[in-house]
């Protein structure tokens, strides 16, 4: 039996994926700005250990048993409260579905809506994991450029006019992955008006919204939505622990039953033990206090990295100015290839890892950008790593003069 019997969605198996980047990043010789890692220091390890203990003691053996696919109601109630606090609207716990990280929520949405060749719109660039998930359903991607205040609305409407059958727009409106860009209020309103006009859903993927370092929060798309067109995805991965693999969907009420059917087919149900441990943790600790601590840590690193980029990068290289989140997006001159640079001097000489732009565009064609993460590294690594990158890029830019 040969590889030709695989499904058509897997005809290409040689693409870079997140796990491979992660493998490079996990090599301790390198300074990794690659993966979107939280700082180990932010994990409330002792409190989580205690929460696991308490949950097991107090719930008894039944905590190790099968439970409902949607996740425990008590946790969904706490997530509704957290959503009210950070997203300006309070969903019913009945419409919250626990998922295996935000990634599974994205996959569930893809599975619910997409037949082969269906039309969807994604930001250019966008979260590479979302592309991996959607790729499974072999959609027709339309990319809309991201500006410093979010999607290019002229291009978006032109795309919708040409492809009115578009099923959804997938967007990360706050501190976007990979660019760090935040969508303006005006564009949020325009996007929702277009959703109504052209009859599509908006997938609001928002794991970073809790982490604002400057500026004023804007209303979430879900809060502005008055027609049930927004499906919100969020997660504890960036604010509590990625290893707990706990994300959620806030579903349109009509879609809840379908999403649960899909979740059940994917992996039956979430880990009740992990969810109950988080539930116990949230009963005893104010999430807002914990988030405030994280923000202090990450704000310093964000501003330091912006400062060092300004100091060390050649004039031809530009970068975004995020007000929160995990990432800064760096743009090289058009003719430069960030993938080739990574495989060349950046890794071998600089021992620095970033995520090249190629894997962050649906087209897989745009090569002259890369994503830097600042949360998973020390301030010393930011100093050293940006200096090494700066030196290499100074040399590369000088060579193309």
Interface residues for a copy of itself in 360-389 (CB under 8 A)? Answer: none
| Interface residue with a copy of itself, options 75, 98, 114, 353 (CB under 8 A) | 114
Nearer Cβ to a copy of itself (218/359): 359
Kindly tell me which of 150 and 270 has the beta carbon lying closer to a copy of itself.
Answer: 270
Separation between Cα atoms, residue 44 and residue 274, nearest integer Å: 14
CA torsion 282→286→288→291, rounded to 10°? -70
Strand bridging mode 352-353 / 31-32: parallel
Chain CA centroid to CA 263, Å: 20
Q: Which of residues 298-357 bind a copy of itself (CB under 8 A)?
A: none
Q: Give alpha helix (H) positions in 136-268.
A: 153-162, 185-198, 221-224, 256-267
CB of 55 to a copy of itself, least distance (A): 9
List Cα–Cα distances, 287 to 34, 58, 278, 322, 361, in angstroms: 27, 22, 11, 23, 34
Q: Does 23 bind a copy of itself (CB under 8 A)?
A: yes
* 62 versus 335: smaller Cβ distance to a copy of itself: 62
Q: Is 183 in the site for a copy of itself (CB under 8 A)?
A: no
* CA–CA distance, 324 with 308 (Å, rounded to integer): 17
Angle made by CA atoms 84, 85, 87, in degrees to the nearest 5: 65
The correct pick among 30, 32, 33, 48 for binding a copy of itself (CB under 8 A) is 48
Q: How far apart are CA 278 and CA 63, in angstroms?
A: 13
CA distance 71 to 273: 10
CB-CB contact of 224 with 202 (8 Å): no
Q: Is 273 in the site for a copy of itself (CB under 8 A)?
A: yes
Site string for a copy of itself, 222-261 (x = CB under 8 A): -------x-----------xxxxx--------x--xx-xx
Among 99-107, 173-181, 184-192, 330-338, the segment contacting a copy of itself (CB under 8 A): 99-107
- Residue 41 is a binding residue for a copy of itself (CB under 8 A): yes
278 is an interface residue for a copy of itself by CB under 8 A? no
Q: Are 213 and 302 in contact (CB under 8 A)?
A: yes
Q: Is 140 in the site for a copy of itself (CB under 8 A)?
A: no
Give which of 393, 377, 388, 216 is closest to 304, Cα–Cα.
377
Among 267-275, 315-323, 342-350, 389-397, which window interacts with a copy of itself (CB under 8 A)? 267-275
Closer Cβ to a copy of itself, 61 or 399, answer by number: 61
Closer residue to a copy of itself, CB minimum distance, 78 or 245: 245
Determine, following the binding rule CB under 8 A, whether residue 3 of this chain makes contact with a copy of itself. Answer: yes
Question: 28, 61, 226, 348: which one contacts a copy of itself (CB under 8 A)?
Answer: 61
User: Any contact of residue 211 with a copy of itself (CB under 8 A)?
Assistant: no
Count interface residues toward a copy of itself (CB under 8 A).
86
Task: From 81-89, 128-136, 307-315, 318-326, give the range in contact with a copy of itself by CB under 8 A.
Answer: 128-136
133 contact partners, CB below 8 Å, separation of at least 6: 103, 106, 107, 110
Under rule CB under 8 A, residue 58 binds a copy of itself = no
CA neighbours closer than 13 Å in the CB half-sphere of residue 244: 28
- CA 42 – CA 39 distance, rounded (Å): 6
Binding a copy of itself by CB under 8 A: which of 28, 29, 40, 401? Answer: 40
């Amino acid at each position: 039996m040969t590889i030709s019997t695989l499904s058509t969605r897997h005809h290409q198996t040689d693409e870079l994926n997140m796990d491979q980047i992660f493998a490079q990043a996990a090599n301790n010789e390198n300074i990794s700005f690659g993966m979107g890692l939280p700082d180990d220091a932010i994990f409330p390890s002792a409190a989580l250990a205690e929460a696991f203990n308490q949950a097991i003691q107090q719930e008894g053996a039944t905590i190790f048993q099968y439970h409902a696919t949607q996740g425990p109601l008590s946790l969904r109630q706490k997530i509704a409260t957290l959503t009210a606090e950070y997203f300006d609207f309070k969903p019913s716990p009945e419409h919250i579905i626990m998922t295996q990280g935000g990634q599974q929520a994205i996959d569930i949405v893809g599975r619910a809506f997409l037949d082969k060749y269906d039309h969807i719109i994604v930001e250019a660039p966008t979260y590479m994991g979302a592309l991996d998930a959607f790729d499974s359903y072999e959609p027709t991607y339309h990319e809309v450029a991201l500006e410093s205040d979010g999607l290019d609305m002229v291009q978006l409407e032109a795309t919708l006019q040409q492809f009115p059958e578009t099923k959804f727009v997938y967007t990360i409106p706050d501190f976007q992955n990979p660019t760090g860009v935040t969508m303006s209020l005006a564009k949020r309103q325009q996007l929702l008006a277009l959703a109504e006009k052209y009859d599509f859903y908006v997938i609001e993927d928002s794991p970073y919204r809790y982490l604002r370092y400057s500026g004023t929060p804007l209303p979430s798309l879900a809060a502005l939505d008055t027609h049930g067109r927004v499906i919100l995805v969020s997660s504890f991965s960036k604010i509590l622990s990625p290893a707990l693999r706990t994300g959620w969907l806030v579903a349109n009420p009509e879609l809840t039953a379908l999403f649960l059917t899909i979740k059940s087919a994917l992996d039956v149900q979430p880990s009740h033990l992990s969810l109950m441990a988080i539930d116990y943790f949230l009963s005893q600790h104010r999430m807002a206090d914990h988030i405030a601590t994280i923000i202090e840590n990450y704000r310093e690193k964000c501003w330091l990295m912006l400062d060092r980029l300004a100091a060390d990068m050649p004039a031809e290289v530009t970068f975004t100015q995020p007000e929160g989140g995990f990432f800064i997006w760096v743009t090289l001159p058009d003719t430069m290839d960030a993938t080739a640079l990574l495989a060349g001097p950046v890794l071998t000489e600089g021992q620095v890892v970033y995520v090249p732009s190629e894997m962050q565009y649906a087209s897989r064609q745009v090569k002259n950008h890369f994503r830097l993460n600042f949360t998973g590294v020390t301030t010393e690594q930011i100093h050293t790593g940006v200096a090494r990158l700066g030196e290499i890029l100074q040399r590369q830019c000088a060579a193309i003069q």
